[in-house]
Amino acid sequence: MENGQEEKDVVKNGFNKHEMHNGTNGHTEHTDVNNGFNKHDIHNGIHGHMCDLDLDCPVAISVAEAYGLELIATRHISAGEVIVQEPPLMLGPVEADTSSCLACLVPTKDPTCVCPTCSAPLCSPPCKGKGHKLKECEILARNDFMHCENTSILNSLYNILTPLRTLLLMTEREDIPLLLEAMEANTKKRSTLKNGFYTEEKLATALLLMGVTVDAELVKAICGIWDTNAYTVYIGPTQQDPAQALFPVTAMMNHSCVSNTYVKFADGFMTVRAALPIPKGTACTNNYRHMLYGTRHRRKFLLQSKLFLCMCPRCADPTECGSHTSSLRCQKCPPGLYVPSDDHSSPWVCYKCNHSIPARLADTLVTTCFMSCSKLDTTDIEVMVTKLNLIQEGLGSQHYLCQELKRLIVAALTSRTLEHRSSVPMGVQTRIIPCNELSDADLWLLIDLSDQLLKLGELLEPGLSGFRGQLLMHQVRSVSELLFRSQDSSQKKCEKESEEKNVKKDETVHKVKKLPQYKIEKQVLLDSAEECVNILKYDPFYKEAKNLNECLKSLLDNSDISLICRP
């Protein structure tokens, strides 16, 4: 569900798509549409869905005259409390170069393993997944889909699969139209885009040729719902295979760039937890964009992908909650910062000395740095460290491009992403690197950068956020490994062998950190480990966080250390 204002758009074929909004900016009032659905019908549909799933949630779907649907706390919700645990209403494939099983959406390994009826790819005979149903199979078999050569109409099986499954589910379950009706489709706004509904019209034509009776307007609405509301989730035995999923209750949350919840999908459920205490009657909010990015970057992304201009408190504050992630280092007084203006054309003025620079100069500097960062090899730590040193001289270490580089360095130090590291959130679709594979210099670099990002998170993603949980885990792992090495005499040999490597990396670390002497008390470290376990309770890395906590306690119990400092 999105921010913004829009008139209702009626979709034919018995499905009417309200332009329902539940964002922080503007919402529109709704009245009855042709099929009799109104906001109260939709509210009851979502409420019924929650009852069907036996979701005993501390929230309710609220219908406001001016705000459409939103998720409201029915009582005080404590930080860390589970708000919703919701299975996906539907799963759809993501665009990929490899073949995926139609039953479970996991990539296939054996190209000869196919459905005996329609020849669609399957991962094993028979696959335990429930996605490839009888009606879908009959349609694909009737049209000899797997042997179709008309690529100008049917681009691929996976392009047509999601709207086809949505249409079939609408005929199977009476509640589906209401649930879809509640989710934003942005039909009217999407019609003004450069390419309009080119893809949707091709899909509608393809469905008609396959014998599926459907109105093109309905296909546009369905595609809009998926584009606007779908989450990318990771499924399969390893929880690392991407798919798209719809969660009707989760979709009711408002957007805010400083949200009061965080979401995580694991073991077949989307878990929504309170990151902060949420008073009774307060709307639950979720952030659609990573919090590290600056306001203009976030607004541009949200406007292009979600079709609304965010006006949340952070976007309305030029200092971005005091983080200054979009401000630039003042050239006249280095402690000062040029703060961006709201209108994109006024000069940027230093909040300390009042010196100003033209908006065009500021934009050029940021754009140049952004382009140079976008070309980096995000697996090469030394290259990223060198770039970080360079751009923070011009932008300041607080700038969002510097913060994003720090995040990428942390990701490169801690994980091996399966693909497209720079576009994958930290901790997702990765393999954790054992700390014993890192040098002392690597570990201290990881500790320093995690500490900086944690401080930023306190301003922009406060409370028990997933971002904080991941950083705490990386920091605690690193400190624990250093403690272990200090107590393990056999480690000295390894340190000697890697001395040359460490010296080189230590030089890089000293250039980056520019921080006061790092130190952490024993009890603070133990508290951080406990907090990490609490935050990651519904995360795929929960077991690792729990084991880490136990190992740390054992390490500290066998030592008289009360304060950990950089040597």
What is the 3-state secondary structure of 472-529?
HHHHHHHHHHHHHHHHCCCHHHHHHHCHHHHHHHHHHHHHHHCCCCCEEEHHHHHHHH
- Asked whether the beta carbons of 76 and 279 are under 8 A apart, the reply is yes
Pairwise CA distance, residues 286 & 260, whole Å: 7
- Asked whether the beta carbons of 86 and 261 are under 8 A apart, the reply is no
Please give the pLDDT value at position 185: 85
pLDDT in tens, 22-70: 333 433 333 233 344 566 677 677 877 888 777 788 999 887 665 567 8
151-155, 361-365, 552-556: segment of lowest average pLDDT:
151-155
Pairwise CA distance, residues 391 & 387, whole Å: 6
Task: Give mean pLDDT, residues 2-31.
Answer: 34
pLDDT in tens, 275-300: 999 999 999 999 988 899 999 999 99
Residue 103 identity: A
Show the tokens assigned to 272.
Answer: 């929504």
Is the model more confident about 286 or about 555?
A: 286
Question: Nearest Cα to 399, choosing from 320, 454, 471?
Answer: 320
Task: Give mean pLDDT, residues 292-321.
Answer: 91
Please give the pLDDT value at position 231: 93
Mean pLDDT of the chain: 81
Please give the pLDDT value at position 517: 57
Cα 31 to the center of its chain, rounded Å: 33
C-beta atoms surrounding 555 within 10 Å = 18
The top-scoring range by mean pLDDT among 51-55, 91-95, 185-189 is 91-95
- Asked whether the beta carbons of 563 and 496 are under 8 A apart, the reply is no
pLDDT in tens, 457-506: 999 999 999 999 999 999 999 988 888 887 765 445 555 555 555 544 44
Q: What percent of the chain has pLDDT over 70?
A: 79
Terminus-to-terminus CA distance in the chain, angstroms? Answer: 51
Q: At residue 10, does pLDDT exceed 70?
A: no
Q: At residue 236, does pLDDT exceed 80?
A: yes
pLDDT in tens, 104-118: 998 888 888 888 888
Cα 175 to the center of its chain, rounded Å: 28
Question: Nearest Cα to 365, choosing from 336, 333, 335, 390?
Answer: 390
Please give the pLDDT value at position 26: 35
Please give the pLDDT value at position 500: 52
201-205, 224-228, 418-422, 428-432: segment of lowest average pLDDT:
418-422
Question: Nearest Cα to 453, choosing from 315, 290, 286?
Answer: 290
pLDDT band at 440 (very low <50, low <70, confident <90, very high): confident
pLDDT in tens, 221-232: 999 999 889 999
Question: Nearest Cα to 181, choosing from 131, 246, 99, 133?
Answer: 246
Please give the pLDDT value at position 33: 30
Please give the pLDDT value at position 483: 84
42-46, 129-133, 211-215, 419-423: segment of lowest average pLDDT:
419-423
